[in-house]
Amino acid sequence: MKNSIYPIALSLVLGGQAIAQDAADGASGLKLTMQQGAASDVRVSRQAALTVQRGESVSALLPAGQYAAVWEGHLKIDKRSRVYFSFEGNGSAELFVDGESVLKEEGKFGGDETKRLRLSSGEVPVKIIYKSGAEGAGSFRLMWRGRDFAKEPVPHALLGYNTNEKLAQSQLVRMGRGLFAEMKCAACHDGGKGMPEASEMGPSLAGVGSRLDEHWMAEWVLDPSTLRQHARMPKVVESKEEAAHVAAYLATLKADGSAQLPEGDAAAGGRVFHQLGCISCHQTEQGQDLAKWGDGKPIELFNAGRKYQPGALAAFLKEPGKHHASTRMPDFNLSDKEASDLAAFVRGLDKLEKKQAGSADLAKGKELVKAAHCASCHDGLPQEAAAKTSFTALADLAKNGVKGCLTDEGKGPKYQLTDTEKKALAAFMQSEQAVRSLINNNRAEYAYRQFENLNCAACHTKDGGAARLGNVHALSAAYAAGDHKQGGHGTAPPDLTFVGEKLRTDWMEKLFKGELEYRTRPWLKQRMPEYHSRAKDLAEGLAAQYGVMQETTEVPAKDEPGKTLFGMQGGFGCAACHGAAEAKPVAVFEAPGVNLLYAGQRLRTDYYHRWMKDPRRIDPLTIMPKYFVEENTTTLAQPLDGDGQKQMEAILQWMKSLDQ
């Protein structure tokens, strides 16, 4: 596997033994079949893990209620190994390894584990049957331990499955369901709003004439795909004349003046563009081939300069969600100067001259806006132009076949859809179970969709996949006047392989909302953006993917042994690399560690203890030392009688007390 730490990571999983199959050579994860009443569904599950709240659906395609879940696949093992399996969570579960039942538990899990099992090399069949409680709430994680590693979730990269026709069809239906929401189809064909994306609106048109250029709007309305290759906005007019009428009318929708930002410096903006890693999501020149580095569908910036009225682009960059709450554009919390500089840089990328709008009929424009039902997807229109109408009910669409918006025929909206996308939408609409599923929501599946939608893989590695930024960042180096350095380990955005089991849900929600008053890695030039409207659902969804429950907040006692253990004298020497509140690290090499003032707020307790047991099992390239020399013995005989678990817990409690 290229550009990945995982060949090293996986070789450590079984105490230094190598894995039979590189994760890049085949699909990793398990096939998960879910049964809820008479209905069933199947999808790929990253791990044998889930968390479902009362009233939540176990699957996006199933209603809420009591359910059964069956994971099937195989473990990818290279050499004969001896391990113990156990469960975490609650409900009813049974584990089969190589066709034999080896563990069965009911109620609260964790009291039992298997006898020591000998796993032969190759693909070892595994199956887990799980049943929730009567109300559908429950959680589950498949754990294991071995001679050389403590109890941990069975790693994603060691799991494999075989696809089949039912799974392929389910994936196609899910793709269609996602497109239905992304394209705002529910605005006209209402099918319920349990799926969070189904209730999202397009950009507000209130005051749009004060933000966007009239001629650009005419080009956009005529055919959005000419300005943005992957635009989801449909073509809703038939001619340039109609487009000019619509744009002229929209240009009359003015807003009160907003605060003026300072004049921008394009050169300084180029440096901001490069430092933030914007090139991972945006093309700055025609012909840049970013698609080969992933499916992020980069957005062209060489058409954006003439889009905005003077000052409006800087205002947008300063507050992207102000007129579009569900925008995918990240909020980087830019300063006034950064926003102005970045706007000046982007405007300079557009080499085409700004054209003057021709003559148009405002009355015709208003009628066209009304006839196109723009108000179904955009708020902010005056009442006289905001007529909505009732279209074919979603439940009846399956009877009509592939018609209307899925074709280029008639006078309806015309979307730029690929054949695969049309097939996916048709598969979704022709499934009654899928159509009804728009009223359902599963948090884990929402997080999977948003990981793709927000292009998180542009900056972050996960499960061994390389971040696109590492491959394309050099393309924007020229904008930074040569300020381009490839950082070493610890100088790039953090890996997200363990994100849901690593970070507390309440902390992630604050991070996504932009409510934290600090940066955990202030030395990074890239910044974690804010996604205000998605914060709660995304944080909870990430945790649900890993089968963990939200931790409760407790007020810790001041723990003096923890402070001693942190220190350089009589402790583990954590202060060499880590600051603690106002205290700075005393002997940093390579990259500094995070300030431990924040660690108690960020980290889940079980992940913290796994990390402290053996950091290199999680991150093989870390410079964090391993302090345990035996199962529960550290390099320090005192304090706490040399009990490693108690020593590490003391440090955690001390870290939690730092912000009290």
pLDDT tens, residue by residue, 340-374 = 999 999 999 987 766 665 678 999 999 999 999 89
d(CA 384, CA 231): 28
Torsion of CA 485, 491, 493, 495, to 10 degrees: 130
Q: What is the pLDDT at residue 471?
A: 85
- The three-class DSSP label of residue 262 is coil
Q: What is the pLDDT at residue 137?
A: 94
The mean pLDDT of 119-130, rounded to a whole number, is 96
- In sequence order, what are the residues at sequence separation of 6 or more whose Cβ sits closer than 8 angstroms to the Cβ of residue 520? 594, 595, 598, 602
Q: With left for phi above 0 and alpha for psi between -120 and 50, is residue 406 left, alpha or beta?
A: alpha
> With 70 as the cut, is the pLDDT of residue 386 above it?
yes
Count CA atoms within 13 Å of residue 637 on its CB side: 0
> With 90 as the cut, is the pLDDT of residue 502 above it?
yes
Q: What is the pLDDT at residue 558?
A: 65
All domains in the chain, ordered by first residue: 6-162 (3.90.182.10), 560-657 (1.10.760.10)
> With 50 as the cut, is the pLDDT of residue 6 above it?
no
> With 90 as the cut, is the pLDDT of residue 392 above it?
no
d(CA 494, CA 459): 9
Q: 75 vs 18, 21, 94, 545, CA distance in Å? A: 13, 10, 17, 19
Identify the top-confidence range among 153-167, 348-362, 593-607.
153-167
d(CA 511, CA 655): 19
Residue 68, burial from CB neighbour count under 10 angstroms (0-12, 13-18, 19+) = middle
Q: What is the pLDDT at residue 5?
A: 31
Both structure tokens of 562: 């923890």
CB contact at 8 A, 262 and 336: yes
Both structure tokens of 491: 């100088």
Q: What is the pLDDT at residue 295?
A: 59
Strands (E), 147-298: 149-153, 159-160, 282-283
Predicted TM-score of the model (pTM): 0.91
Q: What is the pLDDT at residue 57?
A: 93
d(CA 114, CA 123): 20
- Average pLDDT over the chain reads 87
Q: What is the pLDDT at residue 466?
A: 86
CB contact at 8 A, 328 and 453: yes
Q: What is the pLDDT at residue 468?
A: 87
**Lowest-pLDDT range of 289-293, 314-318, 530-534:** 289-293
Please say whether the dihedral angle defined by the alpha carbons of residues 466, 468, 470 and 471, taken in this order, is positive or negative. Answer: positive
Q: What is the pLDDT at residue 22?
A: 34
Both structure tokens of 586: 């005393």
